[in-house]
Amino acid sequence: MDFMLGNTGRMLQKSMDYLWQKQAVTLNNIANQNTPNFKAQYVTFEDELERRLNSTRSKTKKEFRQAIEDSGITIHETENESMRMDGNNVDITAESAELARATLQYQFAVQSFNSDYTRIRSAIKGQ
């Protein structure tokens, strides 16, 4: 499928991997909201991807593909202090909003992929 969707398909795949991981980390934060000394985590991807895309020299499709493939998903632990006595710094309101956001973004990415795939299938069938 890579040869048909190209860099767009690769980017969509990376984005979906990132959003899936983001949901998992956010759900873990929510599950540990009452665990003493638990520090919330967050996932990054966009900054590294942007940096890699901007650093491509000749701007060829191959360089863009490599930049996309080399961009990694990183999990970080929050450093902010807790306002709770038990040392836990999970903000359930912020985590719930982030989970809803990531879920909607993931659903959009799946719909986008399905749309691209349907167009390719229709072109192959000659419809």
Query: pLDDT (tens digit, 0 to 9) for every residue of the chain, 127 residues total?
Result: 455 567 778 888 889 999 999 999 999 999 999 999 999 999 998 888 888 888 877 778 788 888 888 888 899 998 877 778 898 999 999 999 999 999 999 999 999 888 888 888 888 887 6
Look at residue 119 in the predicted model and tell me its pLDDT: 84
Report the pLDDT value the prediction gives residue 96, as an integer from 0 to 100. 97
List Cα–Cα distances, 9 to 15, 44, 54, 92, 104, in angstroms: 10, 20, 19, 34, 19
pTM, full prediction: 0.79
Q: Which residues contact 127 (CB under 8 A, 6 or more apart)?
A: none
Q: Is 124 exposed, middle or buried (0-12, 13-18, 19+ CB in 10 A)?
A: exposed
